Amino acid sequence: MQQSYSKILVTGGAGFIGSHLVDRLLKEGFAVSVIDNLSAGRRGNVAHHHDRKDFHFIEGDIRDTTLVPKIVAGVDAVFHEAALVSVPRSVENPLLTNEVNVSGTLNLLKASVDAHVKRFVYASSSSVYGEAETLPKHEKLALQPISPYAVSKLAAENYVEAFHAVYGLNTCCLRYFNVYGPRQTYGPYSGVITIFVNRLLDNEAPLIYGDGKQTRDFTYVQDVVEANMLALTKQSATGEVFNIATGTQTTINQLATMLQQIMDKTNLKPVYAAPRLGDIKHSYADVTKAKDLLQYNPQMSLKDGLTKLVKWYAASSQAQRTL
Ligand code: UD1
């Protein structure tokens, strides 16, 4: 592992993806600071690091223009994972989504330039493609975001690219496709896998919006962590945008069936409701660019990932499941 970076900041580092990244960075020998406002993240996700001298937790908001420059000062690299991540939440509250996802990112970018940060890795989203008809989705497609959430992720991505072009910030954008795994907080704004597992644990049938024929490319969180490590260390990542996914397409109906089989809950028949506003129909990725330039090689099949996740839930307490 290249060691020209030693101090790393992870925004949203107490959250679902961020906390897994923190685990990996500490394991690799980096000193890690986390800023998290605990709106979705939780201290418990990083509690096992609290006694370490190379770990620093700051409860704060990425929109805070006084705090952020202070914590970015002296940092070599930033992983920007903090965001409001839900499409329906953005439909309910587009202004807040914009403030956190766009203004928060801009605040962080400005502080990173001022602090001469050497690498800035941005957690973007496959939602930026919107209803682009070509499948699988590749990085050169025209972008047609259709929800306030998707617009906010794209606007922030554009800011990241502008900061690379104008200020020479050493950036990389990773467009995550439907990340799942342990530690995603369960609530109305969680991802579909977290919601389905929790409903099934409570003996409730999966609730499917629309006909369930919409597709997603579900990506296990450790594959996303690996992509971030590659984005940190590979020079070929500089100024680039990459799809991070598995390159496979699964319908929501198939997902429900797989989970019901794994959890032995096939007696619970899925319930159908109206399609969700802002939902895209199909999403799956061409990951050739990440494979070629980053040597990214996703490891986890959906079946294995779901099985691992279900085992994690079996070993976790009720308190870890909900907000
Ligand atoms: C997800 C992420 C988003 C990310 C994007 C691309 C979350 C909360 N959202 O958005 O941050 O940028 O992938 O990586 O992690 N559905 C049901 N029943 C449910 C819940 C959802 O049928 O109980 C359906 C939805 O209508 C949708 C699909 O499942 O068609 C996926 O929904 P969701 O998990 O919320 O993800 P995205 O909206 O794709």
Three-state secondary structure string covering 122-143: EEEEHHHHECCCCCCECCCCCC
Q: Computed over its alpha carbons, how large is the radius of gyration of the chain?
A: 19
Helices (H), 143-184: 148-167
CA of 282 to the centre of ligand 1 (A): 11
To test ligand 1's pocket by mutation, which of 97, 178, 280 has the most ligand atoms within 8 angstroms of CB? Answer: 178
Q: Quick one: pLDDT at residue 236? A: 94
273-311 per-position pLDDT tens digit: 999 999 999 999 999 999 999 999 999 999 999 999 999
Q: Which amino acid does the sequence have at 50?
A: H
Residues with CB under 6 A from ligand 1: 85-87, 125-127, 176-178, 189-192, 195, 207-209, 214, 216, 252, 276, 279
Residue having the nearest C-alpha atom to atom 8 of ligand 1: 191
Helices (H), 41-147: 67-72, 87-92, 94-98, 104-114
Whole-number Å distance between alpha carbons of 289 and 57: 34
CA 190 to ligand 1: nearest atom: 8
Which domains occur in the chain, in start order? 7-179+220-246+285-298 (3.40.50.720)
CA of 1 to the centre of ligand 1 (A): 34
Residue bearing tokens 């969680």: 190
Mean pLDDT of 126-147: 94
Helices (H), the chain: 16-27, 67-72, 87-92, 94-98, 104-114, 148-167, 192-201, 221-233, 252-262, 288-289, 302-315
Q: Quick one: pLDDT at residue 322? A: 58
Q: Quick one: pLDDT at residue 5? A: 86
**Does the structure show a pLDDT above 60 at 88?**
yes
C-alpha closest to that of 312 among 20, 28, 18, 24: 20
**Does the structure show a pLDDT above 80 at 319?**
no
- Band of the pLDDT at 132, cuts 50, 70, 90? confident
CA of 219 to the centre of ligand 1 (A): 12
- Band of the pLDDT at 3, cuts 50, 70, 90? very low
